[in-house]
Amino acid sequence: MNSITERSAAVLFKGNPASLLGPEIKVGDKAPDFRVVDNGLQPVTLATDAGKIRLIAVAPSLDTALCDTMTRKFNQDAAALPDSVVVYTITVDLPFAQKRWCGNAGIDKVKTLSDYQERSFGLNYGVLLKDLKLLARSVFVIDAEDNIAYVELVPEVTTEPDYTAALTAVKALL
């Protein structure tokens, strides 16, 4: 059985050091596979949108103001991207809650995905908060060949990511 890497005090959560489970993913790495579910409980893996550029925004919960803002911003930005790009938001919220939230928020470009079942995205991408079992705020861009092209692990989970840098990374791949 593989042991899980623990990265102590890798981020802050509300000013307090928080440990992450899983490896540190770096630009140039092969994107790890994962298994999450969409709003209809259908599995989504790295292969689901193979051949496309994937911008993956990771957040603790859509039911918080900052995660709401982040997902709305990426939804707005996604509208200007070509069909060769897919934008995901991954949280551990239940798929039913994600679907309700998207309907209420008018989210139609971002695909919300849930890591509630296995936490495989969180563990494989090194963003699972050990004690809270939530995902740390982060952004990954994966190119069409499944290579990591951009990583931002937001140092304080309760702050916003660098939207411009993430979109610049996506546009550089077009």
pLDDT at residue number 107: 85
pLDDT at residue number 108: 87
> Please, which residues have CB within 8 angstroms of residue 92's CB and are 6 or more apart in sequence?
60, 61, 114, 115, 116, 119, 122, 133, 134, 135
One DSSP character per residue, 61-100 reads -TTSHHHHHHHHHHHHHHTTS-TTEEEEEEESS-HHHHHH
Q: Determine whether 67 is an active site residue.
A: yes
Residue 140 identity: F
* Residue 115 phi, psi dihedral angles, 5° rounding: -105, 25
Residue tagged active-site, from 18, 55, 67, 139: 67
Do residues 138 and 151 touch, judged by C-beta distance below 8 A? yes
CATH placement of domain 6-173? 3.40.30.10
pLDDT at residue number 65: 87
Residue 150 identity: Y
Q: What is the pLDDT along the chain (174 residues), one digit of tens a residue?
A: 468 999 999 999 999 999 999 999 999 999 999 999 999 999 999 999 999 999 999 999 998 888 889 998 999 999 899 999 999 999 999 999 999 988 888 888 999 999 999 999 999 999 999 999 999 999 999 999 999 999 999 999 999 999 999 999 999 999
- Taking the model in full, what pTM does it have? 0.96
pLDDT at residue number 37: 98
